Amino acid sequence: MTDIIQLLPDHVANQIAAGEVVQRPASVVKELVENAIDAGSGNIQVVIKDAGKTLIQVVDDGKGMSLTDARMCFERHATSKIKAAEDLFSLQTKGFRGEALASIAAIAHVELKTKPEDDEVGTQIKVEGSKVANQDVCVCPKGTSVSVKNLFYNIPARRNFLKSDAVETRHIIDEFQRVALAHPQIAFSLFHNGSELFQLPETNHRQRITNIFGGKTNEKLVPVTEETEIVEISGFVGKPEFAKKSRGEQFFFVNNRFIKSPYLNHAVVAAFEGLLKDKSYPSYFLFLKVDPKSIDINIHPTKTEIKFDDEHALYAILRSAIKHSLGQFNVAPVLDFDRDANLDTPYDYKNRSAEVPQVEVDRNFNPFQEENARTHKTGSNSFSSNFKKERGESWESLYAGLQTEDVPKPDSDFREIEFESEEVTGNLFQPSQDTEEKSTFQLHKKYIVSTLKSGILVIDQHRAHTRILYEEMLKNITVSAAVSQQLLFPLNLQFNTHEIEILKQLKDSLEQTGFVFSEVKSDSVEIVGIPTLISESEVEILLEQLIADFENDVPDNGFSQTDLLAKSLAKGMAVKSGTLLNNTEQQHIVNRLFACKEPGLSPSNRSVFVTLTVDELDKKFM
């Protein structure tokens, strides 16, 4: 029997390893930026083109590499971070496996320029598909510059599986934000296709969060601090009233490394119990510092999941620390009915001594001096007589103008008296003329029940109204026939950089639905007109839901974008389950629903109504 097991060639093994390390352009950005941080950089610049498919360049001012190190860094399992297996349990650096540059060089054209501070000239190396194409000396500043071009050029199948540029750019921004939040002492910048997306100076954690997510973020943050033998917790949580419909602004960092932990996320949500609206998620930026020996970060290829020695204690400490911060800053209510918040001592004054108030007395003041003078002038008798005179004249004036014949007789017929009542108008739906002819009623504030010739009809009011608005939105966007109501005062809404980019892509379609944007800035939008079907207070909630729906992808196809936009707006504007509807509104939904092209299905392909025939009812009583 012939032997069939053999060793894989190095270039094949590198491509297989690249599948674990490099999943998309964002993975390359993460690995290169983390290497720059480990090199002791103070300023890191990231340049990408075509969402990283054409170019990814990371430039740092770290300590650089010698000629030998520059050649060795492209070999598999070559690293300066660890030397023995015991070092895995005391890691203080980002990367340690030694496969990042080797995997990237196997699937792209890589150019490396590096120079230590003491050397006069640097080293330039070009690698194509794991093979060194060129090596030479070059003139370059201190630090390292790595350019990755034509990612997946030799693996077309992997390149075809990449998403659109907007999606890949979003993943790159996510990785960039995670690293930038963990290291506020380092200045970062990000450029995409020649335009600047981020310019983050060296600062502290709070200011770094504000620089990334917008100026209004500062007022939403509540500081969290706790120090125990197990963990040191610092960072911020968002106030409950600013909770969002998506999980975008949720960050855990353990020893300055971004992680994902559903278990710790549950601890944060538990601390907000009773403070959040339904389907709302709190924002948090929490930095945990633990003993490196108590965690294992080598359980996942992307190193975003780690294992703790004592998760239960960490859960309890994190939950109590957040609850304490929410109560300390009067964000969460306390169970003390006799407590007066005005008597609380501000925390700025906790170390100050009390100041004794000074009392000043005017010893020359005599409150009886003026009254005595008036008494001597007028006399006590004149005062009392004047009072009695005024009182005598006033009681008769109460009955002036009353005539005895105006009093109704006891035997009058009160049934002839008519009362005027003001009819309340301005309902959400226009009243129909034949309301009295048809009978509908609402069941559990969720279903509308109507009669048919063959039985009864049960309609889900939210899905029905969503279908109605969906078809109306599609018509408005296609025909551009939407009606807009002008606002008396412009509405200014704050968003972060990524959310602004999504709104810019949807701006034309939103204007066809009735929105009017007067200005779109880097961190805010100004709206002067909104669709007639929504109120001003619902605009921010509606746009946040829209951004959450487009968070993962903004379709390039015009129809797909219009369809997704109409679905999102219709879902946010439709009447919700639990809303009480009068008979006119119920009848309006029924009539409008059966005027739709697809009345039986909601935009998400769910049943809108069910029918129950008389025969089916008869079988229930058999």
| Contact indicator for 591, 583 with CB cutoff of 8 Å | no
More confident of the two residues 231 and 426: 231
* Burial class of 252 by CB neighbour count within 10 A (0 to 12, 13 to 18, 19+): buried
- Whether residues 125 and 260 fall in one domain: no
300 falls in which pLDDT band (50, 70, 90)?
Answer: low
pLDDT at 314: 92
Is 258 inside any structural domain? yes
- Whether residues 192 and 228 fall in one domain: no
Q: Does residue 278 have a pLDDT over 70?
A: yes
- Whether residues 20 and 143 fall in one domain: yes
Q: Does residue 384 have a pLDDT over 50?
A: no
| Range of the structural domain that residue 230 is part of | 213-328
Q: Does residue 224 have a pLDDT over 90?
A: yes
Q: How many CB atoms lie within 10 A of CB 611?
A: 12
pLDDT at 431: 52
- Phi then psi for residue 97, to 5 deg, are -80, -25
Provide the pairing of β-strand 187-192 with 43-49.
Answer: parallel
Q: Any idea what the CATH number is for the domain that residue 570 is in? A: 3.30.1370.100
Q: 307-356 pLDDT, tens per residue?
A: 888 889 999 999 999 999 988 876 665 555 565 666 666 656 667 777 78
Is 308 inside any structural domain? yes
Q: 477-528 pLDDT, tens per residue?
A: 777 667 888 988 999 988 887 788 888 888 888 888 889 999 888 778 999 9
For residues 136-164, give the mean pLDDT. 88
pLDDT at 238: 92
More confident of the two residues 502 and 59: 59
Last residue of a domain, one of 328, 353, 387: 328
Q: What is the mean pLDDT of the chain?
A: 81
Is 305 inside any structural domain? yes
- Whether residues 273 and 294 fall in one domain: yes
**What is the SS3 assignment for 509-526?**
HHHHHCCEEEEECCCEEE
Q: Does residue 44 have a pLDDT over 60?
A: yes
- Whether residues 274 and 194 fall in one domain: no
Last residue of a domain, one of 328, 345, 373: 328
Please count the structural domains in the chain.
Answer: 3
- Rounded to two decimals, the pTM is 0.70
For residues 229-252, give the mean pLDDT. 88
Is 619 inside any structural domain? no
Q: Does residue 248 have a pLDDT over 60?
A: yes
What residue type is 606 in one-letter code?
R
Is 65 inside any structural domain? yes
Q: Any idea what the CATH number is for the domain that residue 218 is in? A: 3.30.230.10
- Whether residues 109 and 221 fall in one domain: no
pLDDT at 176: 94
- Whether residues 143 and 233 fall in one domain: no
Q: Does residue 408 have a pLDDT over 80?
A: no
Structural tokens at position 86: 């015991």
Q: 96-134 pLDDT, tens per residue?
A: 555 778 888 888 999 999 999 888 899 999 998 888 888
Instruction: List Cβ neighbours of 459 (8 Å cut-off, separation of 6 or more).
Output: 447, 448, 449, 450, 589, 590, 593, 608, 609
pLDDT at 388: 47
181 falls in which pLDDT band (50, 70, 90)?
Answer: very high
- Whether residues 250 and 276 fall in one domain: yes
The fraction of the chain above a pLDDT of 70, given in percent, is 77
- Whether residues 262 and 150 fall in one domain: no
E strand spans, 461-573? 484-494, 516-520, 524-531
Is 582 inside any structural domain? yes
- Whether residues 252 and 110 fall in one domain: no
For residues 442-468, give the mean pLDDT. 91
Is 420 inside any structural domain? no
- Whether residues 229 and 279 fall in one domain: yes
The fraction of the chain above a pLDDT of 90, given in percent, is 29
216 falls in which pLDDT band (50, 70, 90)?
Answer: confident
Q: Any idea what the CATH number is for the domain that residue 42 is in? A: 3.30.565.10
Is 354 inside any structural domain? no
Instruction: List beta partners, residue 285.
Output: 236, 251
436 falls in which pLDDT band (50, 70, 90)?
Answer: very low
Q: Does residue 182 have a pLDDT over 80?
A: yes
Q: How many CB atoms lie within 10 A of CB 340?
A: 7
Structural tokens at position 182: 């963990």
Instruction: List Cβ neighbours of 195 (8 Å cut-off, separation of 6 or more).
Output: none
Last residue of a domain, one of 328, 344, 372: 328
Least confident of 17-21, 178-182, 570-574: 17-21
Q: 571-590 pLDDT, tens per residue?
A: 888 898 888 998 888 999 99
pLDDT at 373: 59
pLDDT at 435: 43
- Whether residues 444 and 508 fall in one domain: yes
